């Protein structure tokens, strides 16, 4: 690995990290994980580290990096800005989430807490970077998917494969902008190399705005199936969800309530500054991609 220009990558085993390490053209990566993979992708060097452990920088020994990508939850990154600066980091691109806005007024206190935590962590990260002279950019994706790995779109694909049909709460008229992890990985590298994006936060919605129902239809198509969607009255959906709840870890009844709400964001600033060109929503599931269990996740499904 050419270490001179290597990018320190926090959360390298995330969905975005998986897409990033697979990019054919990218810089060398120094990847942090609490559980590094058994076989490392080319041009990566893995370091075992837990960001909540105060001593984690010692695990890097004499490795240095001037640039860092933070793909781990922003609340694990915001408290370690001083340590990053001490390691020589001068430029940081960190991921937050549009849930900061979409969950802020949720009737579910746990979801409101997620929104507040994102908001507090963004502010803390900005304060730390500005105090230490680290150039920061915050990227806020909408619903992320990576076929076979995510807990949003792939979870729906697995339910479709299992039951052959999918129930919606109401007519599923709420608008969505699912975004592919590969597009986010490319945008993170672009931001890292775009000095004018320092000191700014960008929403990164997917390349197509479609209703929740149309999103589900595309998942059926991606599985090579004809859509079979049951539009249930919301109270019937809630009852069914309550019964299925033990089999849907991390799922929340608010997901049903949101199926008729628009969760959409403006891509114009990212298009102008980061040449953001996200793909339309056409997921494709090879036979094994939707059937295997996704890897463990550090946070619940977001939509």
Ligand X SMILES: NC(=O)c1ccc[n+]([C@@H]2O[C@H](COP(=O)([O-])OP(=O)(O)OC[C@H]3O[C@@H](n4cnc5c(N)ncnc54)[C@H](OP(=O)(O)O)[C@@H]3O)[C@@H](O)[C@H]2O)c1
| 180 half-sphere exposure, CB direction, 13 A CA radius | 18
Near ligand X in 34-63, by CB under 6 A: 34-35, 50-52
Q: DSSP letters along 243-281, please?
A: HHGGGSTT--THHHHGGGS------HHHHHHH---PPPS
194 contributes a contact to ligand X by CB under 6 A: no
Kindly tell me the burial class for residue 142, based on how many C-beta atoms sit within 10 Å of its own C-beta (0-12, 13-18, 19 or more).
Answer: buried
141 contributes a contact to ligand X by CB under 6 A: yes
Report the residue number, 52 or 292, with the smaller CB distance to ligand X: 52
Task: Please identify which residue in 6, 8, 74, 188 interacts with ligand X, judged by CB under 6 A.
Answer: 74
13 contributes a contact to ligand X by CB under 6 A: yes
SS percent in the chain: helix, strand, coil, step 5: 40, 15, 40
9 contributes a contact to ligand X by CB under 6 A: no
Asked if 88 and 65 count as a contact pair (C-beta separation under 8 A), the reply is yes
Walk across the sheet containing 7-10 and list its strands: 44-48, 29-33, 7-10, 67-70, 91-95, 135-141, 200-204
Interface with ligand X: number of residues (CB under 6 A): 29
- Which range, of 10-18, 107-115, 193-201, 225-233, touches ligand X by CB under 6 A? 10-18
Q: Which of 266, 259, 209, 258 is nearest to 104 (CA)?
A: 258
Q: Which of 184, 209, 201, 182 is nearest to 263 (CA)?
A: 209
- Shortest reach from residue 56's CB to ligand X, in Å: 7
95 contributes a contact to ligand X by CB under 6 A: yes
Sign of CA dihedral 207, 26, 8, 51: positive
Task: Please identify which residue in 8, 17, 129, 158 interacts with ligand X, judged by CB under 6 A.
Answer: 17
119 contributes a contact to ligand X by CB under 6 A: no
113 contributes a contact to ligand X by CB under 6 A: no
- Shortest reach from residue 136's CB to ligand X, in Å: 14
Task: Please identify which residue in 44, 97, 106, 209 interacts with ligand X, judged by CB under 6 A.
Answer: 97
- Shortest reach from residue 16's CB to ligand X, in Å: 5
Report the residue number, 232 or 263, with the smaller CB distance to ligand X: 263
Report the residue number, 144 or 192, with the smaller CB distance to ligand X: 144
Contacting positions for ligand X (CB under 6 A):
11-17, 32-35, 50-52, 71-74, 76, 95, 97, 141, 143-144, 152, 297-299, 302
């Amino acid at each position: 690995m050419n270490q001179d220009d290597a990018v320190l990558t926090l959360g390298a085993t995330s969905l975005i990290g998986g897409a990033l390490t697979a990019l054919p053209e990218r810089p060398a990566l120094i990847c942090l994980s609490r559980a590094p993979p058994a076989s490392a992708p080319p041009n990566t060097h893995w370091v075992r580290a837990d960001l909540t452990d105060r001593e984690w920088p010692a695990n890097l020994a004499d490795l240095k990096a001037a640039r860092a990508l933070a793909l781990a939850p922003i609340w694990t990154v915001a408290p370690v800005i001083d340590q990053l600066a001490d390691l020589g980091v001068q430029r940081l691109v960190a991921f937050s989430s549009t849930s900061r806005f979409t969950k802020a007024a949720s009737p579910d206190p746990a979801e409101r807490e997620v929104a507040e935590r994102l908001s507090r962590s963004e502010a803390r990260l900005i304060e730390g970077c500005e105090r230490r002279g680290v150039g920061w950019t915050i990227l806020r994706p909408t619903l992320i998917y990576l076929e076979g790995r995510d807990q949003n779109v792939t979870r729906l694909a697995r339910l479709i494969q299992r039951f052959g049909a999918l129930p919606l709460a109401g007519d599923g008229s709420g608008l969505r902008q699912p975004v592919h992890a590969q597009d986010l990985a490319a945008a993170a590298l672009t931001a890292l190399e775009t000095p004018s994006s320092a000191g700014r936060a960008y929403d990164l919605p997917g390349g197509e705005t479609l209703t929740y129902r149309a999103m589900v239809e595309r998942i059926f198509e991606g599985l090579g199936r004809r859509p079979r969607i049951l539009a249930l009255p919301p109270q019937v959906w809630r009852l069914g969800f309550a019964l299925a709840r033990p089999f849907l870890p991390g799922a929340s009844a608010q997901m049903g309530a949101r199926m008729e709400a628009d969760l959409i964001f403006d891509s114009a600033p990212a298009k102008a500054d980061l040449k953001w060109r996200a793909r339309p929503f056409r997921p494709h599931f090879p036979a094994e991609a939707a059937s295997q269990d996704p890897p463990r996740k550090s946070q619940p499904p977001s939509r």
